[in-house]
Copies of this chain bind each other. A is one copy, B any other.
């Protein structure tokens, strides 16, 4: 960490800061220049509160050289993490596809889709039981009943399931769920993250609409700091000025995550674009860029989907996507 001091500081101010840093076990190298003095902080600076240092009125700015995350950091864990969801592995060359309906609607719907996506090669069934909706007047999901339907489909097909949690108090209903999803809007719901850090279950952590990659890894760090190391990241598009797609899929985030972290990352082209016609091309691109898996919406009757219909594929379309993805992966 680098601390740049203002031109006219008093020695006693600096001494106070140096003393405080020493107490934290941080070594300091000073670099005295004509127009500015620079402190180089050496040691475990991840735990330092930069705001506190920046608050000193003789400090011009504070810049981190090292990332503020540790457990999620590839520097300290160079080997790729493999997360197991049910028996399905994700990461370190293990590629997994999570597919299923946006919203769970009926036993028949879930059964049909689960059988179809399994036949096409999906390894995990996804489906929404608790749905975050912008409007209070829109369908909010089937809740616990939806989770029951997913578990029935799991029993029928053997596919492990992933579904979204919106509230810590719903946690008991997730007892038999294989992987708990944290949605984009809850990526910085720190209370939820802390609670999931105490779980012994894989967590699929979606990137927030307007969150940097570093903030995303810090949210993973919340879960990992609590003791749960089974985190799968999911890139699902960020909010930009462009309106031709619902969000802008940031595939370069896969490159950055692979470099900075050992955690697996999957890509959700369905939510990223909101347009089912673009899902195939972007799924193939995600596989090509090095993602560890995909999350794709599939509906047996997109025209009747209760939500997010425009981004869902039919089982036949999904089968076509899987063929294309497998081709690229086999390259």
Binding site for B on A (CB under 8 A): 2, 4, 27, 29-36, 38, 40, 42-43, 46-47, 49, 51-52, 54-57, 60-61, 63, 65-66, 68-69, 132-140, 166-169, 185-186, 188-191, 194, 208-210, 212-215, 218, 221-222, 225-226, 238-245, 248-256, 259, 272-273, 275, 277-278, 281-282, 284-290, 302-310, 312, 327-328, 330-331
Contact = CB atoms under 8 A, between A and B. Distances in A.
A271 to B, nearest CB: 12
A266 to B, nearest CB: 15
A256 B249 contact: no
Interface core residue of A29, A212, A242, A306 (most chain B CB under 10 Å) = A242
A25 to B, nearest CB: 12
Given A57-B302, A212-B242, A242-B250, 15 more contacts: A29-B33, A31-B40, A51-B307, A54-B309, A166-B190, A167-B191, A210-B239, A212-B244, A238-B242, A240-B241, A248-B252, A252-B272, A255-B281, A256-B278, A281-B290
Q: How many copies of this chain does one complex carry?
A: 4
Contacts of A52: 305-307, 309
A59 to B, nearest CB: 9
A257 to B, nearest CB: 9
B42 A33 contact: yes
Given A27-B33, A38-B31, A40-B33, A134 B188 contact: yes
19 contacts: A31-B38, A34-B43, A46-B135, A49-B306, A49-B307, A51-B308, A51-B310, A52-B309, A55-B310, A63-B63, A132-B190, A136-B218, A210-B210, A212-B241, A212-B242, A213-B242, A240-B240, A249-B250, A252-B272
Given A51-B309, A238-B248, A243 B212 contact: yes
B304 A278 contact: no
A2 B290 CA distance: 33
Contacts of A240: 238, 240-241, 248, 250
Nearest to A43: B34
B135 A68 contact: yes
Contact of A137 (B46, B250, B273, B287): B46
Contacts of A284: 288-289
